[in-house]
Amino acid sequence: MGRWVFTPESLANTRHHAWKNAVNSIEQINAYLNLEPNSTETTTENDELTMTRLYAEQTLELCDVASLPPKVKFTAILLSQRFFTGTSVMRHDPGVIMFTCVFLACKLEEY
């Protein structure tokens, strides 16, 4: 299978891996800074999925406000969803990624 095609199981596994890596990184930083374990709140896997869906909706709204064509909207959402398939929202600000994906979509679709 191609890197852009996932089975439901491999998608869930990839997302779980990204989430677990982010949680482990936060735990390592807490240990390095001598913070108490669990002193930093992390998201759950469900929260991550909810946040990526929320930002997909906000991407649509942003594209509507900017009067972008549908192919740019859907390319931006595809890029965002693909990015957060392998990366946790705890590692990168979804708002910044949203604007980046819209910019890249405009470039990719030559708009």
Instruction: Note the pLDDT tens digit of each residue in 68-95.
Output: 999 999 999 999 999 998 899 988 999 9
Q: What is the pLDDT of residues 24-73, one digit of tens each?
A: 888 888 888 887 766 667 788 889 989 999 999 999 999 999 999 999 99
Residues 32, 10: Cα–Cα separation, whole Å: 33
Query: For residue 95, is it left (φ>0), alpha (ψ between -120 and 50) or beta?
Result: alpha
pLDDT at 1 over 50: no
Looking at residue 39, its pLDDT comes to 60
pTM here is 0.80
Residues 38, 57: Cα–Cα separation, whole Å: 31
Residues 19, 39: Cα–Cα separation, whole Å: 18
